[in-house]
Amino acid sequence: MLKPIILIIFLVISTSAVLADIKINEIMYDPTCYSDKYCEWIELYNDEVNSINISNWTLSDNTANDTLEGSFDNGAGEIIPGYGYALIVDVDTRIYNDFSINDSVIWVYTGDDTIGGSKLGNSETITLYDNNLNQIDTVTYSSPVATEGNTYSLINASFQETSPTPGKDNELNVSVALNFSSIIITEFLPDPEGTDSTGEWVELYNSGESDLDLLGFELYDNTGSDADITITNSSTTSGTTINSNSYLVIYTNGVSGFLNNDGYEKITLKDIYGDSIDELTYSDSEEGVSWSLSEGKWQRTVPTEGYGNEDNKTSVASEINLEEIYDLGSDKKAEWGDTVRVKLFAYKGNTNKNVIWIWIENGEERITKKSKFNIYDKFQNYTLTYPLQIPDNCNKEFTSGNYRIVADGLDASDEKILEIRDRPLCKDFKKTTRVKNLEYEIKSLLPVVEVNEEFTTSILLKNNQKEDLDIELWSYPYSGRKKFVKLNEKDNSKKLNLKASEEKIIELKNLINETKKDDVNFKVKILRSDRKNPYELKGSVKVIDIPNEVKIEEKQSKTLKNAITGNIVYESTGEKSKRSAIFVMNGVLAFLLIYLLFNYGNPN
């Protein structure tokens, strides 16, 4: 039974401690002005660092209860900041005519024209309740506790008569207000990945030496006069207090229209008094990238929510680095048939690409297959070791020497030289003809072409790989630096997908419009989608320029002329056939005559 009693006592003590942050600190119940109700006031003091929202709190005296209402004239609302003061007055108060009230003081109204019943009496019990009617503080006094014009004030845990000090320390008569100038905006994420309804945030930093409660602070954009975000416990994950030299992240919780992604935008942070604490402008954000105050200026960086900002200006760019090659010989060389391991560092920046490819090539073609692996999380570092199998090269398809290990993806790439040497693995191997991954040749090219006459060239393409190839090819005649094209050398470009083990013949058309030379060079370029530089095929053609009048004469020579009249005579196909039949018949008769003479003309 003892343990429950101890627990109850502990809870009561804890509750009292929590509820003791706001105190009734000073009471002016007998002012000297012409009407007490205009000049009476009660001062509240927040003796903790945390701000307290007194919305819907209640103040009672012996005769009435008043619901407290905050002043919205200065934007302060009903929040009393840490170590701050509030003055409870009626709506028609005139005390500012008699006292100099600090701007940091919160004005709280009773909702009518008096405090309490008709006015504060000489003997009262004044009690303060929170919005759940928990008693926060109570003060009882009976006349005389203060002469006219003086106040009943709390000093060193007890009440006594003093000169009035509204909004100031009762003993020293000085204003005490927290300094929020150490709060700055350091980072914000206006365009998180996916929808913007969740995930947007603004990061604040406290460079001062004191913890500060930002309850009731507000964030504004450049449109409208109302606050877009009010800092409360629901807009943070760690409360509204920002510790010294620390960060506090404010979440927008899906507020529409704040932290726009396109065009000009402004963010302003204001305190509970409506004063601007910090302000910035920005435009044109990128998805998944935050704006960070780094190196004294705003720049796009990797989001570092609640931590120090990145100083690296290229932190949004991906990076690939081939760091080391393992399993090499003592001379740092590999041999044909080896398996080598490659240590690879990858950093994925602001890209939606996920694949990294890795292979070995000789500059013109790959000698290994392309292997791939996926990286999904942005702004993360990855280190891995990947094996690559070097072919045994028994058919002497490749020459020994320097090759390149290439890693490409995430909008980044890197390469590293790998020297491969021979070794006696294939003594009994029969040498075979080298077969390229892609075979290509000019199948037909006219040896002679006419000026201004279009001619066709056939190109044979054969894919010897087990995977499809995307190919673009084009051709053009040229002489020295002059290319015979309309716009550029890709005038007749064709793109195609060459299936695995597929063979195709592609026709390209060209035209030479004018030239002073008889011989012109001819070039075909073939570009694979996985290469930067195209293959080239070269040839030459002889160019002739036939005058128009010669062409007409050639055409006319194909007709017949009457020997007497000189007129052109056109023969039909039927007439030609009749004339040919006469010659054939004469030939047959001559043959028969010779045969008869030979066999019967000699009597012997």
Residue with tokens 């007497």: 564
Q: What is the pLDDT of residue 1?
A: 40
CA–CA distance, 511 with 450 (Å, rounded to integer): 9
Q: Has residue 372 been placed in a domain?
A: yes
Which 3 state secondary structure label does DSSP give 600?
helix
Q: Domain limits at 577? A: 558-586
Q: Are residues 240 and 193 in the same domain?
A: yes
Buried b (16+ CB within 10 A) or exposed e, 499-536: eeeeeeebebebbbeeeeeeebebbbbbbbeebeeebe
Quickly list DSSP for 29-50.
Answer: -S-SSS-HHHH-EEEEEE-SSS
pLDDT at position 561, please? 44
Paired residues of 504 in beta bridges: 461
Distance CA 18, CA 15 (A): 5
How many independent structural domains does the chain possess?
5
pTM equals 0.54
pLDDT of 153 reads: 94
Q: Which of 162, 193, 209 is the last residue of a domain?
A: 162
Q: State both tokens at 58.
A: 């209640």
Peptide bond into 477 cis (omega under 30): no
- Residue linked to tokens 């419009």: 513
Residue reference for tokens 């030979």: 598
Question: 3-class DSSP state for residue 372?
Answer: strand
CA atoms within 13 A on the CB side of 589: 6
604 is a domain residue: no
Note whether residue 553 is domain-resident.
no
Q: What gap in Å lies between CA 78 and CA 70, rounded to an integer?
A: 4
> Do 329 and 404 fall into the same domain?
yes
Taking the CB of residue 7, how many other CB atoms lie within 10 A of it?
A: 10
Residue 9 in any domain: the answer is no
Q: Are strands 85-89 and 106-109 parallel, antiparallel or unpaired?
A: parallel
pLDDT at 197: 60
* In 163-275, beta strands by DSSP E: 183-189, 201-206, 212-213, 218-220, 229-230, 241-242, 246-251, 264-270
Is-contact 72 106, C-beta < 8 A?
no
The per-residue pLDDT for 16 is 33
Tokens of 110: 């009773």
pLDDT for the residue numbered 10? 32
569 in Cβ contact with 562 (< 8 Å): yes
CATH at residue 47: 2.60.40.1260
DSSP lists the bridge partners of residue 250 as: 202
Q: Helix or strand or coil: residue 271?
A: coil
Same structural domain, 139 and 96:
yes
Domain boundary among 301, 328, 348: 301
Question: Kindly report the CA angle at 506 between 504 and 512, in degrees rounded to 5?
Answer: 160
Do residue 461 and residue 535 come from a single domain? yes
Taking alpha carbons only, the member of 169, 164, 19, 22 closest to residue 81 is 22
Q: Is residue 495 part of a domain?
A: yes
Domain with residue 215: its CATH number is: 2.60.40
Q: Which two tokens stand for residue 152?
A: 């009943």
Residues in the chain: 604
Nearest to 461 by CA among 526, 510, 365: 526
Is 369 a domain residue? yes
β-strands 535-544, 448-450 pairing: parallel
Give the CATH number, domain containing residue 328: 2.60.40.10
* Helix, strand, coil percentages in the chain from 3-state DSSP, rounded to 5: 10, 40, 50
Give CA torsion, residues 198, 199, 205, 211, to 10 deg: 50
Q: Do 488 and 540 reside in the same domain of the chain?
A: yes
Let me know whether 325 and 369 are in one domain.
yes
Residue 474 located in a structural domain: yes
At 116 the pLDDT is 75
- CB contact at 8 A, 57 and 129: yes
Q: Which tokens go with 73?
A: 């004239």
3-state class of 197 per DSSP?
coil
Same domain, 524 and 443: yes
Statement to judge: residues 409 and 451 lie in one domain? no
Are 30 and 131 members of one domain?
A: yes
Residues near 501 by Cβ (< 8 Å), separated by ≥ 6?
463, 464, 465, 466
CB-count burial class (<10 Å; 0-12, 13-18, 19+) for 432: exposed
Residue type at 592? Answer: L
Q: Do 530 and 564 share a domain, yes or no?
A: no
Q: How far apart are CA 213 and CA 201, in angstroms?
A: 18
In a domain, 398, yes or no: yes
Task: Give the DSSP letter string of 475-504.
Answer: EEEEETTEE--SSSTTTT-EEEEE-TT-EE
pLDDT of residue 362: 87
Q: Are residues 213 and 76 in the same domain?
A: no
| Contact criterion met (CB below 8 Å) for 274 and 171 | no
Nearest to 45 by CA among 19, 63, 71, 24: 24
The one-letter amino acid at 379: F
Q: Measured between alpha carbons, how far is 506 from 504 in angstroms, rounded to an integer?
A: 6
pLDDT along the chain (604 residues), means of 10: 36 35 92 80 92 90 86 62 90 83 88 76 90 94 86 93 93 85 93 74 93 93 85 91 94 82 84 91 83 84 81 70 90 89 90 91 86 86 90 84 93 93 62 64 91 93 90 93 91 94 94 84 91 87 76 48 42 50 66 69 53
Instruction: Tell whether 339 and 256 lie within a shared domain.
Output: no
